[in-house]
């Protein structure tokens, strides 16, 4: 009986919302807050004082906590960071390094299945062009309220990109190969990148509202019968804080065009080669210092 009432509620919301969104030129804006947690203890934080941890967390905050705006219509969307002026010194160290892996504006077209992303990597501009891939969502009956919107739960398993910094973590001893365990101290000295791993898949929980019946969502998430208002993926939460429907001044949803055009696979190859160069450079410098000592 409870499930039947939930299904009826869903159908009523869909019906009412479809009438409201029947106009062809409607546009909306959804404002999101993204937060990624990081366990400093995994990266040597156990040896830090509480004051040191606090200073590092403050420096990382501007990188781990960001705000985005999703501008959308029935078929297209553009997801951009709502950039703010950073305080001096923020985002340095790991934050400054990892910022090379974060993307610029992301364009999605759910009709043509087109995905475009403006991406800068070590001072060079790229335009990543690929097919918009969908997740196999499992629809749930659980609901919750986000602001004035009734949201339904959906879950999926997502394959993680090997350079997705949000899921990077320090490799545990249990996940090392036998050869790596035997030469653990050598590995750490020669190449710190060997200490980083990314899980192959993560579980994603989405909350979407049929009150905004469009097939869109933040970042590269989409494919549900309503705007996705919240995403929980590994250590990252993306939450919608405000929605503006049919703003007085409509904003053109323009495709990113600048940069060398590459597929995601080609772009990852470029990163791999660059990382190998850095490893060789880093190893060479350590070798020189060892000979001088």
What is the chain's Cα-based Rg? 22
Residue 228, pLDDT above cutoff 70 = yes
List Cβ neighbours of 152 (8 Å cut-off, separation of 6 or more).
10, 139, 140, 141, 142, 143, 207, 208, 209, 210, 226
104 touches 69 (CB < 8 A): no
Residue 201, pLDDT above cutoff 50 = yes
Average pLDDT over residues 149-162: 94
| Range ranked top by mean pLDDT from 124-133, 194-203, 272-281 | 124-133
pLDDT, residue 188, reads: 45
84-98, 202-216, 232-246: which range is least confident on average? 84-98
Residue 283, pLDDT above cutoff 70 = no
pLDDT, residue 96, reads: 47
pLDDT band with cut points at 50, 70 and 90 for residue 249: confident
pLDDT, residue 117, reads: 94
Better pLDDT: 191 or 232 = 232
Residue 210, pLDDT above cutoff 70 = yes
Q: Which residue has the tokens 């030129």?
A: 25
Mean pLDDT of the chain: 79
Give 13-60 pLDDT, tens digit per residue. 444 444 445 455 679 999 999 999 877 665 555 566 777 767 766 777
Give 74-128 pLDDT, tens digit per residue. 999 999 998 765 555 444 444 445 555 567 899 999 999 999 999 888 888 999 9
pLDDT band with cut points at 50, 70 and 90 for residue 211: very high
pLDDT band with cut points at 50, 70 and 90 for residue 245: very high
List Cβ neighbours of 210 (8 Å cut-off, separation of 6 or more).
10, 13, 14, 17, 150, 152, 225, 226
């Amino acid at each position: 009986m409870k499930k039947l009432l939930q299904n009826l509620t869903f159908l009523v919301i869909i019906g009412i919302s479809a009438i409201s969104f029947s106009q062809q030129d409607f546009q909306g804006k959804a404002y999101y807050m993204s937060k990624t947690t990081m366990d400093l203890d995994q990266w040597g934080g156990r040896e830090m004082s509480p004051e040191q941890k606090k200073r590092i967390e403050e420096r990382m905050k501007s990188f781990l906590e960001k705000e985005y705006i999703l501008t959308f219509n029935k078929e297209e969307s553009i997801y951009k960071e709502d950039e703010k002026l950073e305080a001096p010194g923020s985002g340095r160290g790991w934050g400054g390094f990892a910022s090379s892996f974060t993307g610029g504006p992301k364009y999605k077209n759910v009709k043509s299945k087109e995905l475009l992303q403006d991406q800068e990597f070590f001072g060079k501009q790229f335009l990543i062009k690929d097919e918009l891939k969908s997740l196999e969502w499992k629809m749930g009956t659980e609901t919750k309220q986000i602001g004035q919107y009734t949201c339904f739960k959906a879950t999926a398993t997502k394959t993680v990109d090997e350079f997705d910094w949000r899921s990077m973590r320090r490799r545990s001893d249990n996940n090392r190969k036998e050869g790596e365990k035997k030469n653990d101290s050598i590995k750490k000295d020669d190449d710190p990148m060997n200490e980083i791993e990314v899980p192959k898949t993560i579980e994603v929980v989405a909350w979407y509202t049929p009150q905004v019946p469009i097939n869109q969502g933040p970042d590269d998430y989409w494919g549900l019968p309503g705007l996705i208002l919240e995403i929980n993926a590994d250590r990252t939460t993306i939450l919608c804080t405000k929605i503006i429907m049919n703003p007085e001044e409509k904003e053109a949803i323009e495709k990113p065009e600048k940069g060398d055009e590459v597929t995601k696979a080609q772009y990852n190859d470029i990163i791999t080669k660059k990382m190998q160069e850095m490893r060789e450079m880093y190893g060479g410098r350590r070798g020189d210092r060892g000979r001088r000592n």
